[in-house]
Structure 1
């Protein structure tokens, strides 16, 4: 089934080789929103290294942020949300510098992304990223969300914030409890009680932010943990399930800023 699927994707690309030069398969900027698997580069199907998933790229079309993974390292950068429809420049993306046993896919992904100047729809599920010559260099397929907003419902203990583990045995152990139906949250940051609401995005199922969280104003002997929790919470832009269990919150650069474990 997988081989047939890839062949169909490649056939769609061949049929759409001139799509970036035409208006037949024009796409709006909002249609880029969300996360996409990179399934084809320069006409060849992407074959992930053993025990690895497809490289992917994510677009936040409201803020102009780009993030993802090129096969080994994390991608990050931005694009101009005010560019003409169908045009996008991904030549200035940055990445981390970790070495992996097989860098072939990564090198191909980065080289292709550096050529991208345009985008077009390919069928109902795929997107083509094209070079300035209108030649498709990358084919994207919509990535299924690793988590749903409903998965956050209930009470979670905050086990990490700002890259540091929350000490156990605190008098007021930090936690967050979500009511997804009412879009509200309640908890404690380590000293003060926090309450508020959150923002989600129907176009991006893993997008979430907390611009309206308030806290009581009590002073405690040690406010360091609380400060880290609130700073991390204010920076959150997305969430996802973690391989070892629990839920992770990420900032605009896709850095893990908070880890939650189910109560």
Structure 2
């Protein structure tokens, strides 16, 4: 009988730790900030397929922006930063539309996110996202360590894709970017003209980067189409990530891949 009582007590403790109803673990909006791996959905542990990483979700507490990856596609949306502590008001969450061999995990992630109403802190720095019932968490999140950092962007990179289209090899002036991480400066060529300027990062979002106010020379070339795509993409860049096939991908605010860089 003692063994049964001890077991039931342990279950009660675990349930209390995982409950969104607990006032002891009441979280603030600031606790949401950053990128989080999704490690559990409706009580079932997430097991990524070989060669894949955990789906993840990120919250920018200064802008109310939500982004991440649901297992195949990049997701994006918003949340109310002025909601009461412990309440999570997510807006419509959208995603890109790639097809992957198995979409089951992605469907489960998106379905779970659509049910989230509250959040709370768990042990070991984890977060629980819960629904109205305040019972078992719908999602359990663990802090995510980005697989690429701003430091990794240093050096010279060949631009192989811009605006969703591949850039042909053998151009007279092959587009490239060279990033000086220490000084946060960028130099390169868009396909015709030389570009220079600075890049901006965000200490609250390790994946954020943008290229405001780039300047370029004003030469005219026979074909300016590639340059137009490169400069437009650079003006829209908001985040970056390592690509599965190698290289670095730059994404716009909608989570669309708009630039691909390969180390020279």
The 5 A counterparts of 1:148-187 are: 148-187=149-188
Matched, 1:223 2:227: no
**3-state DSSP of counterpart to 1:82:** coil
Distance 1:139 1:231 in 2: 38
In 2, Cα distance between equivalents of 1:102 and 1:243: 16
TM-score normalized by the length of structure 2: 0.84
Equivalent in the alignment of 1:43: 43
How far apart, in 2, do the equivalents of 1:12 and 1:161 lie?
A: 53
Between 110-119 and 216-225, the greater mean CA deviation after superposition:
216-225
* Cα 1:220–1:251 shift into 2, 3 Å: same
Does structure 2 conserve the Cα–Cα contact (< 8 Å) formed by 1:13 and 1:139? no
Number of equivalent positions: 253
Question: 1:77: how far off?
Answer: 2.0
Structure 2 unpaired stretches of 5+: 1-10
Give TM-score, length-normalised by structure 1: 0.85
Deviation of 1:172 after TM superposition, in Å, equals 1.9
Bigger Rg, structure 1 or 2:
2
The unaligned stretches of length 5 or more in structure 1 are 1-9
> What is the DSSP-based 3-state SS (H/G/I as helix, E as strand, rest coil) of the residue aligned with 1:234?
helix
Using the TM superposition, give the Cα deviation of residue 178 of structure 1 relative to its aligned residue in structure 2, in angstroms: 0.7
Residues 22-41 of structure 1 correspond to what in structure 2 (within 5 A)? 22-41=22-41
Question: Aligned partners of 2:146 and 2:48: how far apart in 1?
Answer: 19
The within-5 A match list for 1:82-93 is: 82-90=82-90, 92-93=92-93
Instruction: Assess if the C-alpha contact under 8 Å between 2:79 and 2:90 holds in 1.
Output: yes
Which secondary structure state, in structure 2, belongs to the residue aligned with residue 177 of structure 1?
strand
Q: Which residue of 1 aligns with 2:56?
A: 56
Q: What is the CA–CA distance in structure 2 between the aligned matches of 1:155 and 1:103, rounded to whole Å? A: 36
Q: The residue matched to 2:138 in structure 1 has which SS?
A: strand
2: distance between equivalents of 1:257 and 1:82? 32
| Aligned-pair CA distance for 1:243 | 2.0
Task: Evaluate the alpha carbon distance shift between residue 258 and residue 133 of structure 1 in structure 2; reply closer, same or farther with a 3 A threshold.
Answer: same
Helix, strand or coil: the match of 1:21? coil
Deviation digits for residues 191-217 of structure 1, max 9, x if unmatched?
Answer: 222111111112221211111322223
Measure the CA separation in 2 of the matches of 1:126 and 1:74: 22
